[in-house]
Amino acid sequence: MTLYGYFRCSTNEQDEERQIRALKDANCQVIRGDKITGTSDFSSRPELTALLNEMESGSTLVLSELSRLSRSFIGMVNEVSKLLERGMHIKTLDGRLDTTAMPKEITMLIVSILGYAASQELAQIKTRTAEGRSVAMSRGVKFGAKRKYDKFQIQEIMHKRDLGQGYGQIAKAMGMSRSTVSTIVKRELDAVVGIQ
């Protein structure tokens, strides 16, 4: 019976090495993984798709935990059902699920409970993140990409604009994109209007 390991990390900052090591320790012969959120559509997970296409009836999909497959209740239940219908098994390394040792009815009951728990955990994470962001914003923290230009560059851009130079000409001279120059000019003009 071939063991196929799958890992998933939500972001590039997360370390997949822990999951890969655990899958190797579990004797998985094939290991694939995606860096994508747990609520993402399954069609946007190329490595999972390739892995499932390789699997045959009787083989086992091994995950560190079922939430690596999905954090969505519906997504988790649907994907597990599809695997079981194809005669495949699922095993999680956290010991919560092993379809080789239980009937389908019990499997789906456990998956439903785990799916509900995963979706609730995701909802709590989103709530805590939103609350933290709100508190940070009230303290003056600004989110988004940091500006890649300083006040002297802004002054130079506005001076060139006052001389009648176009966005493309200024962008080339300043080594910036046309859209960046346009954004800077618009922001500066809006600020002047706001003061008046």
Q: Please choose, from the candidates 151, 149, 147, the residue with its C-alpha nearest in 3D space to the C-alpha of residue 175.
A: 149
Q: Say if residues 117 and 124 touch (Cβ distance below 8 Å).
A: no
- Nearest of 119, 106, 117 to residue 75 by alpha carbon: 119
Averaged pLDDT score across all residues of the chain: 84
Structure tokens that stand for 122 in this block = 């995701």
pLDDT at position 38, please?
Answer: 65
- Interatomic CA distance for residues 99 and 76, integer angstroms: 14
Q: Which two tokens stand for residue 64?
A: 């560190």
* DSSP state at residue 58: T
Record the tokens describing residue 123, joined without a space. 């909802």
Whether 60 contacts 91, CB under 8 Å: yes
The pLDDT-based confidence of 20 (bands split at 50, 70, 90) is very high
Q: 174 and 184 in contact (C-beta within 8 Å)? A: no
Q: Are strands 89-92 and 60-63 parallel, antiparallel or unpaired?
A: parallel
Residue predicted with more confidence, 117 or 60: 60
Read off the tokens for 127.
Answer: 């709530």
Q: What is the pLDDT of residue 130?
A: 81
